[in-house]
Amino acid sequence: MKSRYRLILVTFFLSVALPVVSAADEEHLLRYRFQKGDVLKWNVRQMLRMTTSLRGKTETVETSSRSTKIWTVIDVAGDGVATFEYKVGDVKMHQSQTDKEDAKYDSNVDTEIPPAFHPLEGTIGVPLAELSIDALGEMKKKQALRPYKGATEENRIAVPLPKEPIAVGERWDLEVPVEVQLPEGTVKKISAVQRFTLDSVRNGVATISFRTIIRTPINDPKIESQIIDKHASGFLKIDLDVGRLISQQTEVDREVVGFQGPGSRIHHHARFTECCCGLKFCEICEQP
């Protein structure tokens, strides 16, 4: 009887002394891994709707596109820094504007590019840039091979990751410097960060949400209208087993009133969605 009592007592103390580690407390090391010869084909959808009301007149410009962005790993250094060649495989675009005819372009069909999409001239199917990214997603080098629209803000295939392992619910910040040109010719620097949060890890896929925080107080609608597109938020997914970003969505939906006097108003709504998961039933990756 005594031995049985002692066994129960020891079991009780062990259950009290040993901490229970839940899935939420588990830490995950987020890293990118690439190999020479890897080809990442991103299926991209973009939508922008800009409505401006000024001096009693309202104008709306709406642009939508579907494209294929191709990132080819041309080298991987010993420290894990991967160098990519970036190009646009194809694009299909549509633009409508108040009191103007719609413009359409499909690089797989059309031989001429409409004036509205003239910046695309000579940029489809050819290398546009080389970029080097380390395992933490930090840009180490960038070289444009030819001028192209969006040369400073092309679609990202990596976002900066925390140096240490993190658990679900933890977050990290990325500094996002913003500059605004003032009427007198000076430049106002605005402090902003993108705050990332590890929302979940399921079946080897990490889901991360993010939002942009403007830390510099802004009380001038004129300045606010110039950074209206900086208020981005969204989410992304990383395949931890493969070490790659496989999908992401970014959205901006913001309005500024009084940027050019009473009654003036500007509404900026943009959504950017891309995926390279290759799944047959993925709405973005599904072939038409």
Whether 74 is in a domain gets the answer yes
pLDDT higher than threshold 60 for residue 23:
no
Whether 109 is in a domain gets the answer yes
CATH number at residue 244: 2.30.230
Q: Could you give the percent of the chain with pLDDT greater than 90?
A: 70
Q: 283: left (phi > 0), else alpha (psi -120 to 50), else beta?
A: alpha
Band of residue 17 on the pLDDT scale cut at 50, 70, 90: very low
Band of residue 150 on the pLDDT scale cut at 50, 70, 90: low
Q: And the tokens for 237?
A: 């997914």
Whether 129 is in a domain gets the answer yes
Task: Confirm if 47 and 253 have CB atoms less than 8 A apart.
Answer: no
Average pLDDT over residues 170-198: 92
Domain count, the chain: 1
Whether 1 is in a domain gets the answer no
Q: Which domain holds residue 228?
A: 31-275
- Tell me what percent of the chain is helix, strand and coil, each rounded to the nearest 5: 10, 50, 40
* Phi, psi angles (nearest 5°) of residue 123: -115, 0
Whether 127 is in a domain gets the answer yes
Whether 85 is in a domain gets the answer yes
Average pLDDT over residues 180-207: 93
Give every CB contact of residue 96 below 8 A, 6+ residues apart in sequence. Answer: 60, 61, 62, 102, 103
Tell me what the pLDDT averaged over the chain comes to: 87
Whether 22 is in a domain gets the answer no
Whether 260 is in a domain gets the answer yes
